């Protein structure tokens, strides 16, 4: 694959300027890059973009100066966007949320992964800084540490519902998952009495297919048919397909480590070649 930054998109090398704000490309290199033009080519499975430089002896130097920056911008981002697209396809319409900052390869890798996941079809990220920089919707739930900071799980859920009554999604597996579902239902009833609704629960461990089906049955029996069940815990396209084959009652997928690291393929071998 011959590399380019904006294959098939408007804006040309202006996207490199955006990269300066991410601390990826030295500002001095942007002036050199501006003297080049990108010629997007029809996708053939081989060449993505042709980078055309100015005539004269400086063309080689200029082309070499932008090579590393272009490949750095394209390769990892393409890898993660592609991985996300596979996960989104496996989810078959269920929303996919990027949850991977804690496991990403550094802060800059986490930002690039969040943006690339959004390009690949994820609907949101848990990375608040990525949301601020790139305008990506931000979603998330409380952590297990929130529950552990209270004397009881029920007390933790009540405090969270008081803080976020319009977006109460409870992580129910800190202790016993199905007991956690019952506690979420109890707090959900209290929310409903105050004019709010239980937004959902999150499952983060155990047999997700079994637990999701039983959680769905309990939520529906209690009148919370619209409460969503979000699953996480080392998910990727293969585990999501397996869970769907097991009739898991999961509405949305929080995917982290195996998405942002390109888990099964750690590098994309895009290349940049010089021709006359």
| pLDDT exceeds cutoff 60 at 87 | yes
Report pLDDT for 61: 73
Co-location of 76 and 88 in the same domain: no
The percent of residues above 90 in pLDDT, for the chain, comes to: 70
241 in any annotated domain:
yes
Number of separate domains in the chain: 2
The pLDDT of residue 176 is above 90: yes
Task: Clarify whether residues 130 and 255 are in a common domain.
Answer: yes
Band of pLDDT at residue 177, cut at 50, 70 and 90: very high
Put residue 233 in one of left, alpha, beta given phi > 0 → left and psi -120 to 50 → alpha: left
Query: Is the domain of 141 the same as that of 233?
Result: yes
Give me the chain's average pLDDT, please: 86
Task: Pick the last residue of a domain from 30, 65, 80.
Answer: 80
Q: What is the pLDDT of residue 42?
A: 57
pLDDT at 272: 86
Integer angstrom CA distances of residue 173 from 40, 69, 148, 181, 218? 49, 44, 11, 8, 15
Cβ pair 157, 138 in contact under 8 A: no
Same domain, 72 and 89: no
- Is 171:147 a contact under the CB 8 Å cutoff? yes
- Indicate whether 67 belongs to any domain: yes
* Between 140 and 43, the higher pLDDT residue: 140
Indicate the burial class of 194 (C-beta count within 10 angstroms; 0-12, 13-18, 19 or more): exposed
Give yes or no: residues 89 and 125 share one domain.
yes
Does residue 269 lie within any of the structural domains? no
Segment 225-243, tens digit of pLDDT: 999 999 999 999 999 999 9
| 53 and 98 in a common domain | no
The answer to whether residue 62 sits within a structural domain is: yes
- The range of the structural domain enclosing residue 74 comes to 14-80
Q: Is the pLDDT of residue 8 over 50?
A: no
Task: Note whether residue 25 is domain-resident.
Answer: yes
Contact predicate 271/114, CB 8 Å: no
Residues 71 and 120 in one domain: no
Residues 185 and 138 in one domain: yes
**Do 167 and 51 share a structural domain?**
no
One-character DSSP codes across 109-143: HHHHHHHHHHHTT--EES-HHHHHHH---B-----
Confirm whether 195 is domain-assigned: yes
For residue 110, is it within any domain?
yes
Phi, psi angle pair for 236, to nearest 5°: -150, -170
CATH of the domain at 150: 3.20.20.70
Q: Report percent pLDDT > 70 for the chain.
A: 79
Please state the pTM of the whole predicted model.
Answer: 0.83
- Residue range 10-67, pLDDT digits in tens: 333 444 334 433 444 444 444 544 555 555 555 566 666 777 766 665 667 777 778 8
Residue at 4 is within a domain: no
The long-range contacts involving 130-138, CB below 8 angstroms and separated by at least 24 positions, are 133/21, 133/22
Q: Among 80, 115, 135, which residue terminates a domain? A: 80
- Token representation of residue 196: 């709010």
Same domain, 44 and 176: no
* Out of 12-16, 193-197, 259-263, least confident range: 12-16
pLDDT of residue 43: 56
Is residue 120 domain-shared with residue 73, that is, in the same domain? no
Q: Which uninterrupted H or E stretch holds 171?
A: strand 169-171
Q: Using pLDDT thresholds of 50, 70 and 90, give the confidence band for residue 257.
A: very high
What pLDDT is recorded for position 45? 62
Q: What is the mean pLDDT of residues 169-181?
A: 99
Q: Are residues 144 and 214 in the same domain?
A: yes
Mean pLDDT value of segment 172-189: 99
Report, as an integer, the average pLDDT of 109-128: 97
What is the pLDDT at residue 22?
Answer: 41
| Three-state DSSP class for residue 16 | helix
């Amino acid at each position: 694959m011959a590399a380019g930054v904006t294959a098939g998109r408007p804006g040309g090398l202006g996207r490199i300027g955006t990269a300066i704000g991410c601390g990826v490309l030295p500002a001095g290199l942007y002036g050199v890059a501006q003297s080049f033009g990108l010629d997007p080519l029809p996708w053939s499975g081989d060449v993505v973009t042709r980078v055309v430089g100015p005539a004269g002896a400086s063309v080689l130097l200029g082309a070499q100066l932008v090579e590393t920056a272009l490949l750095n911008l394209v390769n990892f981002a393409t890898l993660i966007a592609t991985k996300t697209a596979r996960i989104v396809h496996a989810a078959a319409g269920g929303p996919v949320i990027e949850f991977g900052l804690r496991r990403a390869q550094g802060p800059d890798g986490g930002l690039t992964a969040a943006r690339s996941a959004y390009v690949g079809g994820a609907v949101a990220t848990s990375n608040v800084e990525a949301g601020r920089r790139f305008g990506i919707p931000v979603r998330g739930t409380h952590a297990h540490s929130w529950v552990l900071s209270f004397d009881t799980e029920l007390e933790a859920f009540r405090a969270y519902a008081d803080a976020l009554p319009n977006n109460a999604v409870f992580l129910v597996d800190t202790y016993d998952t199905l007991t956690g579902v019952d506690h979420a239902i109890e707090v959900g009833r209290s929310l409903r009495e105050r004019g709010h609704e239980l937004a959902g629960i999150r499952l983060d461990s155990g047999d997700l297919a079994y637990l999701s089906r039983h959680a769905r049955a309990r939520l529906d029996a209690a009148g919370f048919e619209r409460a969503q069940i979000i699953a996480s815990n080392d998910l990727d396209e293969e585990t999501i397909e397996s869970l769907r084959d097991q009739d898991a009652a999961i509405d949305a997928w929080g995917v982290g480590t195996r998405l942002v690291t390109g888990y099964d393929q750690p590098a994309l071998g895009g290349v940049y070649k010089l021709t006359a």
